[in-house]
Amino acid sequence: MHTNPFNPNQASRVSLRPEDVDVIVFWTRNPRLLMCHLAELDARGYRHYFQYTLLDNPGPIDPHVPTLEASLGTFRELADHVGPEGVIWRYDPIVWSNVTGIEFPRQAYERIARTLRGYTRRSVISLLDVYRKAEKRLKALAQQGIELAARDEDDLGKLMSALVETAAASDMEITSCAEQLDLRPYGVRPGKRVDDEWLSAGTRLCPSPL
């Protein structure tokens, strides 16, 4: 039984028998507690991969995440088990604010990408979209002196070009994630949250498909 976390009255039944599951996508910022169960998933025949969000934002923006050093270590350990194709690095959302301008994401992305070289084949990026449910969080940040800033087109172009260059130097493909803004002029191919094209291309998932 699966219950919608935003609507408890909406529930559906989903078969989790291995023969009925194409692939399990784990979307996480900290897979540490799950990693001890990966061998069991493999033994049961489930194909799976990870979308691992890894940023290095100031503490007030991301207050409840492991340290960068711990997250990088977990990422590498996870990749050692599932392979570099089995874990996708998500650097999203990019927050454009008075404390995280163009230089902050550029430097953070470069630092993380350099460390993850060889541990992943794909990097996914997106820009922050302000949803209604995020308004309370944004107000709390404003009380701490952190406010969103308008994106300058020239700065956006410089940042995207820098990220593309960094990804290439780190042997990673870079795509966007269902991004409303067209980033193709900067060399960022549009992507999906769960990319069926990537899955159908024969990419090795864990365990390897027959």
User: What's the pLDDT tens digit per position in 22-81?
Assistant: 889 999 999 999 999 999 999 999 989 999 999 999 989 998 899 999 999 999 999 999
Q: Let me know if residue 6 belongs to a domain.
A: no
Q: Are 100 and 57 in contact (CB under 8 A)?
A: yes
The average confidence (pLDDT) of the chain is: 88
Q: In what order do the strands lie in the sheet with 122-127?
A: 24-28, 48-53, 87-94, 122-127, 173-176
Contacts of 146 (CB under 8 A, 6+ apart): 58, 60, 61, 97, 98, 99
pLDDT at 201: 61
Would 154 be classed as within a structural domain?
yes
- Can you list the positions of beta strands (E) in the chain? 2-4, 7-12, 24-28, 48-53, 87-94, 122-127, 173-176
Q: Which domain holds residue 53?
A: 18-200
The residue with tokens 């002196």 is 145
In a domain, 12, yes or no: no
In a domain, 107, yes or no: yes
Q: Other CB atoms closer than 10 Å to residue 95's CB: what's the count?
A: 20
Alpha carbon 126 to its chain centroid, in Å, reads: 9
Tell me, yes or no, whether 205 lies in a domain.
no
* Residue 149: inside a domain: yes
Using alpha carbons only, what angle is made at residue 35 by residues 192 and 93, rounded to the nearest 5 degrees?
A: 35
Total of domains in the chain: 1
209 pLDDT tier (thresholds 50, 70, 90): very low
Q: How far apart are CA 43 and CA 24, in angstroms?
A: 14
In a domain, 156, yes or no: yes
pTM of this prediction?
Answer: 0.88
Q: Residues in the chain, how many?
A: 210
Residue the block writes with tokens 């795509």: 175
Domain-embedded: residue 48: yes
What would the pLDDT profile of 147-163 be if each residue is shown by its tens digit? 988 888 899 999 999 99
State the pLDDT at residue 152: 86
> What pLDDT, on a 0 to 100 scale, did the predictor assign at position 129?
78
Task: Tell me the per-residue pLDDT of 121-130, one tens digit each, with 9 for 90 and over.
Answer: 999 999 887 7
CATH of the domain at 31: 3.20.20
